[in-house]
Chains A and B, each alone.
Chain A
Amino acid sequence: MREISYAEAIREGFSVALERDPRVVLLGLGVPDPKGFFGTTTGLQQRFGAERVMDMPCSENGMSGVVLGAAINGLRPVLNHQRLDFAILSMDPICTQAAKWHYMFGGAMKMPVVFRMIIGRGWGQGPQHSQCLQSWFAHIPGLKVVMPTTPHDAKGLLIAAIEDDNPVVFLEHRWLHHAKGHVPEGHYTVPIGPARVAKPGRDVTLVALSYMVAEALEAAKNLAKLGVDAEVIDLRSLRPLDSTLILESVRKTGRLVVADTGWALAGMSAEVLAVASEGAFGSLKAAPRRVCFPDCPTPTSPSLAAAYYPRSGDIVAAVRETLGLPADEADTAIPAGVELDKPNPAFTGPF
């Protein structure tokens, strides 16, 4: 089976979409840059031309409106942002316009547009280059919101997002770009909506999204050593949200820990807990737990960032609580020599 990286999978998804449909266009600051937008757009402008794969002015808000008009008049644009923090200059066109256009004009127009945003982390990305605001978008009816975790889903969900007739917010975590996995060649889609069982289990349900799925799988491995069989659910899609799969799992295990890459208050983890308590209250054997960011902005200093980002050990600790197992400080200890502000050892900064 062919394995490629998440970044390569995104590039392949773009390639397939551009190839199949001449209406697809890619815009964004640095889309044709020599570093290939973290390797996700490399070679696309050479292959498909500067009219379909183009750079743009530093005008996120205005350009988000421009792509809406372009979508109404027959293009299928993807607007790319190197950080989510830059995209949120355009909350009006995304949330107040794109999300409502089809509904408020009584179905007169469609809005086939993708807003692709990358979430930063590490090497001092700090308070303004690493915000995880998925819940903002997930809150808005009329948007679809996806957060693929595996290279397979990155490609399949990207193509699905481009082919969808609704505005889709496509969120990538920077630390997933290096991850490798099986990716089929050619065209395929992963439907927007269904979550995925990343690892089946009986004792506790770990619902995670984006990069936290990797931490949850690591936690599941360590839990197995304690004799705990954890089920890991990768949400993939935040809107629509797959409550069916969440409920099925919680009914089976009776225990729930949710791991989000964002803040807890009014975040996605709160929504998952709401789903569980509304739909599987009687099955819960213990109070659910959440593993999220501490309730403050992301600090830059490596010493504070290390304390800030939750890791697999925090998930293990939360599972112990739901099982009534004694706490163990070793769960959250930082192994010697591990640099927590880098996605992989080869990285030497800056981003």
Chain B
Amino acid sequence: MTASPETSTFPSQIGQRLLESMVRIRLVEEAIATGYAEQQMRCPVHLSIGQEGVAAGVGAALRPDDQVMSGHRSHAHYLAKGGDLNAMIAEIYGKETGCCRGRGGSMHLVDLKAGFVGAVPIVGSTIPIAVGLSFADKQLKRDRVTVAFLGEAATEEGVFHESVNFAALHQLPVIFLCENNLYSVYSPLSVRQPAGQAVYKTAAGHGIRAEQADGNDAVAVYSLMCDAVRQARSGSGPVFLEFMTYRWREHCGPAFDNHIGYRTEAEYLTWRERDPVEALERRLRAEGCFDEAALVDFKRRTSAEINGAFSAAKQAPFPDAAGLMDHLYA
């Protein structure tokens, strides 16, 4: 059996691991943002830059055989769960070597080997499917847990509530993992949910444990996740976790869009100050366990890895039109 990360303690190894996980996600997504103007990544891309603390904390708290599902903004979740980088970049380039053989693009990622069971861009759609994964695991007596990543807007969909109810009823080993970045595209929470009602409290109304924490504090995410995973794995039922965070760039695409009017530059700058990567670096320094040389080396290796993934993706063949009908039926 795989060693359970739930037993790891901060800060010895986990701090550096979380930092590296965030840095890797950031470097990958910045490479996507930079390369997007070349117009070879011909699909919508939803970047998580600024939100990496959540993905890193969650990924580190899971075992390789645990499972994850996500939505439109899933690059970070995929990478943190151990999804194959080359296959993701190739998928964004629409290539045959992509994780969906080019059929899906950025909004449709999958890596079953890594336990990343699928991401789709219809808001809320994977939530009940993730519940179904955990339902089967419970029936088949596997001790895995499933994480359903969702944005706060997904909690406005009826299917979210139906899914949580069923998971609560059957005490399923599933964690509803909400990244609350305050916006759904251009719509602030104020036009979507009543003022003063925290998302996690609404979830708690279904009779499950629900908690909220700072999503830009990767260690806090990790700790809370470890606890939630322990509960879910031990058969004590589902957990809802809400992590407050902020996306730095536009909803869809590589640019910054604080000037177009739906949010302010000042708000962005406040969150920019709370960069999850810098925050953890500061904390590790303060605790005397920051290995600067190791991080520099990690960045160098990771950049090489990313460059490799991009050039492989660019050189890879497009899917042949003759395969258009492949996979229509099993």
B187 in contact (CB, < 8 A): yes
Contact with B along A114-146 (1 / 0, CB 8 A): 000000000111111100000000000000000
Interface residues of A in 42-81 (CB under 8 A from B): 54-62
Q: Is the CB of B94 within 8 A of A301?
A: yes
B62 in contact (CB, < 8 A): no
B104 in contact (CB, < 8 A): yes
A188 in contact (CB, < 8 A): no
Q: Is the CB of A57 within 8 A of B193?
A: yes
Q: Is the CB of B108 within 8 A of A123?
A: no
Q: Is the CB of B106 within 8 A of A301?
A: no
The distance in angstroms between the C-alpha atoms of A346 and B162, with both chains bound, is 44
Contact with B along A30-50 (1 / 0, CB 8 A): 100111000000000000000
Among the stretches A240-248, A266-274, A302-310, the one at the interface with B is A302-310
Q: Is the CB of B121 within 8 A of A58?
A: no
A350 in contact (CB, < 8 A): yes
B286 in contact (CB, < 8 A): no
Q: Is the CB of A127 within 8 A of B191?
A: no
Shortest B29–chain A CB gap in Å is 14
Q: Which of A58, A128, A302 contacts B154 (CB 8 A)?
A: A58
B42 in contact (CB, < 8 A): yes
Q: A296-B324, A302-B94 are in contact. Are A123 and B157 (CB under 8 A)?
A: no
Shortest A343–chain B CB gap in Å is 13
A175 in contact (CB, < 8 A): no
Q: Is the CB of A301 within 8 A of B122?
A: no
In the complex, chain A residues whose CB is within 8 Å of the CB of B44: 123-125, 129, 349-351
Q: Is the CB of A59 within 8 A of B158?
A: yes
Q: Is the CB of B102 within 8 A of A300?
A: yes
Q: Is the CB of B321 within 8 A of A303?
A: yes
In the complex, chain B residues whose CB is within 8 Å of the CB of A307: 321, 324
Shortest A107–chain B CB gap in Å is 30
Q: Which of B45, B261, B262, B324 contacts A304 (CB 8 A)?
A: B324
Q: Is the CB of B42 within 8 A of A294?
A: no
Shortest B101–chain A CB gap in Å is 8
Q: A89-B157, A294-B325 are in contact. Are A299 and B191 (CB under 8 A)?
A: no
Q: Which residue of B lies closest to A300 (CB)?
A: B105
The distance in angstroms between the C-alpha atoms of A309 and B52, with both chains bound, is 37
Q: A294-B325, A307-B321 are in contact. Are A33 and B185 (CB under 8 A)?
A: yes
The distance in angstroms between the C-alpha atoms of A54 and B325, with both chains bound, is 42
Shortest A289–chain B CB gap in Å is 20
In the complex, chain A residues whose CB is within 8 Å of the CB of B268: none
Contact with A along B100-121 (1 / 0, CB 8 A): 1011111110000000000011
In the complex, chain B residues whose CB is within 8 Å of the CB of A218: none
A29 in contact (CB, < 8 A): yes
Q: Is the CB of A304 within 8 A of B123?
A: no
Q: Which residue of B lies closest to A126 (CB)?
A: B105
Shortest A194–chain B CB gap in Å is 35
A321 in contact (CB, < 8 A): no
Q: Is the CB of A128 within 8 A of B122?
A: yes
Q: Is the CB of B42 within 8 A of A124?
A: yes
In the complex, chain B residues whose CB is within 8 Å of the CB of A57: 153, 156, 192-193
The distance in angstroms between the C-alpha atoms of A59 and B321, with both chains bound, is 37
Q: Is the CB of A301 within 8 A of B319?
A: yes
B64 in contact (CB, < 8 A): no
Q: Which residue of B lies closest to A62 (CB)?
A: B158
Q: Which residue of B lies closest to A351 (CB)?
A: B44
Shortest A18–chain B CB gap in Å is 19
Shortest B277–chain A CB gap in Å is 25
Interface residues of A in 208-228 (CB under 8 A from B): none
Q: Is the CB of A124 within 8 A of B43?
A: yes
Q: Which residue of B lies closest to A88 (CB)?
A: B122
The distance in angstroms between the C-alpha atoms of A302 and B159, with both chains bound, is 32
Given A124-B94, A129-B107, A299-B103: 8 more A-B contacts, CB < 8 Å: A30-B186, A35-B260, A89-B159, A123-B43, A301-B95, A301-B319, A304-B102, A350-B43
| 23 A–B pairs (Cβ distance < 8 Å), ordered by A | A30-B185, A33-B185, A33-B187, A34-B261, A34-B262, A35-B260, A54-B191, A56-B192, A61-B158, A62-B158, A86-B123, A124-B44, A126-B104, A127-B104, A127-B108, A297-B328, A299-B319, A301-B318, A303-B94, A304-B321, A349-B36, A349-B42, A350-B44
7 interchain residue pairs of minimum CB distance: A124-B43, A301-B102, A301-B94, A303-B318, A300-B105, A307-B321, A57-B156
